[in-house]
Amino acid sequence: MRNAIKYLLFAFLACQTLPGCGGPDIVTAVDGSEGPLVIYPDYKEVTIPAGIAPLNFRYAMPEVRHARTTFILGDKSVTVRGDEVEWNLRAWKKFLEGAEGQTITVEAEAVVNGQKVSDRWSIFVSEDPMDGWLTYRLIEPSYQMYNEVSIRERCVETFEETVLCDHRVTDNACMNCHVHGQSRGDYSLYYIRGPQGGSILNQNGKIRKLSLKTDDMLSATVYGELHPDGRFGVFSTNIILPSFHTLTGMRMEVFDTASDLTVADFENNRMINVPHVARPDKFETFPCFSADGRSVYYCVADSVALPENVMECIYDLVRADFDPETGLIGEQVDTVWSARTNNGSVCHPKVSPDGRWLMFTVADYGTFPLFHPECTLYLADLQTGEIRPMDEIKGDKSDSYHSWSSNSRWFVFASKRGDGQYGKPYFCHLDADGRTTKPFVLPQKSSRFYLYNLKSFNVPDLGNASTGMSVKDARRMFEAESELFQ
């Protein structure tokens, strides 16, 4: 019954977007471009890596006829006719050969409502490459339990997508998102939940199923990151509860009623649990390593009664030393960003691989930003100590779950901008001085993909190579026994 309703909704949405099917062929609830000719996705005035897949788009206006789009790069010129601009992959790659550091000029014209309209915009091709693989969880953005979840790997230089784990091989068990260690394709981890689940760790092609849980932990590990040297992982253990708001205009809240930090020693199959990051009067969560692996950043809040005091639950960003020989987190804690001083709450800190930048998200309260439209990315310069909100790339809805490219010149983040329902991966360039460019959404083969897609791209994570994993590995790991940790 539920699937029937879903596909009826799909048919309705498709009918509203197809020409001559009960509604105008326009973009109404997504972030189309500005200018005389509106395009969606918006690829006007963006900076792209030379290896990116074709920027396919459509003219998202009523009564568009005789559209003609010309791409000019030096002495090369390619013209695409029609309201759907969809490149052949080989032609796009040939057009971008040697384009690094150059600007593509796009000249467009069309007849709109009987009037001839012209437009012109630029696309800059950066000299900085971007990692070519992106992993994400596809999940329905509903208030129900998980259903039909999968973890995918997409080559961002083509449209090739590989399934890493899928609900059909895990008895419809929930699975958590895939993360790379230091953006490495050969070093990564994801979770399969449930009685037969475990932590699936990939190190240099060796795949292990681990039970990262001991009797003195609140739960199995939930959020975390892998150490640069490969021996350790730092994680939170959380008791997570969802709740609905009763206030008008507010939706769902997800919060921790308890959370601690722990360290996993992958070489010796042991968990390192220490009292000073597992305090009952504190909520500790979202740990990550510094680029050199000698510090741990994490979020911490004073424990409060939940859900009644959820708006008073605000998280600081702090830093502690980490000993890469013993796996111990230091007791001295330094505050990097104070929640009370800045009137906000931090989650998802991530350090750039070169050690220069620390990016995190800030919402009004709590630690689950997906339903917080005010949620904004912040950037800390770890050399100067300067911290600023990245207002120049802020969307009208939640921006969160960011990750870095291995050269620290690009990052990707999930945003619900536009429709407010479906998270989509957006890429952005960051130069040596911390200046950003206009974000652009992951290109798709069909220019209409995001109008029909009914899944959120959850926790997009960049990798410098393919993981080499497949859904067959997920099936094998699901059926295997977990390695126990002490």
**pLDDT band (50, 70, 90) for residue 254:** confident
What is the model's pLDDT at position 300? 97
What is the model's pLDDT at position 28? 43
Burial 397-433 (b: 16+ CB within 10 A, else e): bbbbbbbbbbebbbbbbbbbbbbbebbbbbbbbbeee
**pLDDT band (50, 70, 90) for residue 400:** confident
| Rg (the chain; Cα; Å) | 23
Domains parsed from the chain with CATH numbers: 39-126 (2.60.40), 133-484 (2.120.10.30)
What is the model's pLDDT at position 431? 97
| Tokens standing for residue 287 | 């740990």
**pLDDT band (50, 70, 90) for residue 422:** confident
Question: Quick check: 420 pLDDT over 80?
Answer: no
What is the model's pLDDT at position 238? 82
What is the model's pLDDT at position 278? 93
Cα(163)–Cα(154) distance, rounded to whole angstroms?
Answer: 9
What is the model's pLDDT at position 15? 40
Question: Lowest-pLDDT range, 244-258, 311-325, 341-355, 467-481?
Answer: 244-258
Which of 459, 475, 483, 486 shows the shortest CA–CA distance to 198?
483
**pLDDT band (50, 70, 90) for residue 83:** very high
Q: Which residue has the higher pLDDT, 54 or 311?
A: 54
| pLDDT tens, residue by residue, 139-154 | 887 655 566 899 999 9
Q: What percent of the chain has pLDDT over 70?
A: 89
**Interval 376-403 mean pLDDT:** 93
Question: Lowest-pLDDT range, 9-23, 111-125, 154-168?
Answer: 9-23
Q: What percent of the chain has pLDDT over 90?
A: 71
369 dihedral zone (left: phi>0; alpha: psi -120 to 50; beta): alpha
**Interval 35-41 mean pLDDT:** 94
- Highest mean pLDDT among 118-122, 182-186, 454-458 belongs to 118-122
What is the model's pLDDT at position 186? 94
What is the model's pLDDT at position 365? 84
**Interval 352-369 mean pLDDT:** 91
Question: Quick check: 281 pLDDT over 70?
Answer: yes
Which of 275, 235, 242, 277 shows the shortest CA–CA distance to 257?
242
**pLDDT band (50, 70, 90) for residue 372:** confident
Average pLDDT taken over every residue of the chain? 89
| pLDDT tens, residue by residue, 327-352 | 999 999 999 999 999 999 999 999 99
What is the model's pLDDT at position 396? 83
What is the model's pLDDT at position 5? 37
What is the model's pLDDT at position 27? 47
**Interval 155-173 mean pLDDT:** 94
Block residue for tokens 């006829």? 65
**pLDDT band (50, 70, 90) for residue 18:** very low
Q: Which residue has the higher pLDDT, 375 or 138?
A: 138
**Interval 83-91 mean pLDDT:** 97
